[in-house]
Structure 1
Amino acid sequence: MVEAKLYYDSEGQVRKVEMNGHAGFDEYGRDIVCAAVSVLALNFANSVEEFTEDPFTADQDSGVFHFSFTGEISKESALLARSFVLGLESIEKQYGDEYIRIIDREV
């Protein structure tokens, strides 16, 4: 199962994302749930880098993705983060929490 921990600040902004695990929906290389989650995560990080000047750190390895804003969050980054979360929630709704579980935390 993919576990996605989303860390929100007191203003409801996503400050940090920690994801790990494999969905187990299908065999490695054919797992559409893992592929979808991976595309969302990488596109989120790439979009923040390309379309904003907001500072962040990101690290991705097989089955692991970490992302953290290290400074102010612009309106653009806030929207990108909301879109990322919407995508994760849609996958969880469609495929179920046996393949992806979203955990909300406060920082």
Structure 2
Amino acid sequence: MIEVEILRNKSGRAVGIRSLGHADYADSGYDIICAAVSALELNFANSVAELTDAKFETHFGEEEGSFDFVLLGKRNENAELLLMSLLLGYAAIRQEYGSEYLLIKDQEV
């Protein structure tokens, strides 16, 4: 199962995500859920880097299936919009395939 933690500040605004695990929907290399989540996350990180001036930290771990992303510094509305788009993508995958493959929860930071 892929577990996604939406990192929220004290006011409830999303400021990052942590994603860990593999969906185990199919064998490695054929798992469409893992592929979809990875594509969303990579596109999100690249979009923030190329389309905004936001400061952030990110880490990808292919073996363990991890992706960490945290916005740093002052608020950046464009980066936050891209983060909300990522969250919509996660929700669509969970709705289509079920929470046994993708679990989404909030974490206050």
Q: CA deviation at 1:71?
A: 1.1
Q: Which aligned pairs between 1:13-28 and structure 2 lie closer than 5 A?
A: 13-28=13-28
- Do structure 1's residue 90 and structure 2's residue 92 form an aligned pair? yes
CA RMSD of aligned residues (A): 1.0
Structure 1's unaligned 5+ residue stretches are: none
Write the distance in 2 (CA, Å) between the matches of 1:82 and 1:46: 15
Q: TM-score, normalised by structure 1?
A: 0.94
* Identical counterparts, % of pairs: 40
Q: CA deviation at 1:93?
A: 0.7
Runs of 4+ in 1 over 4 A off after TM superposition: none
Q: CA deviation at 1:16?
A: 2.0
- Do structure 1's residue 8 and structure 2's residue 8 form an aligned pair? yes
What secondary structure sits across from 1:104 in the alignment? Answer: strand
Q: CA deviation at 1:94?
A: 0.6
Decide whether the 8 Å contact of 2:19 with 2:67 is kept in 1: yes
Question: Quick check: 26-35 or 61-70, which moved more?
Answer: 61-70
Amino acid at match of 1:42: L
Q: Which aligned pairs between 1:1-107 and structure 2 lie closer than 5 A?
A: 1-62=1-62, 63-107=65-109
Structure 2's unaligned 5+ residue stretches are: none
Amino acid at match of 1:53: D
Write the distance in 2 (CA, Å) between the matches of 1:85 and 1:73: 18
Write the distance in 2 (CA, Å) between the matches of 1:25 and 1:66: 22
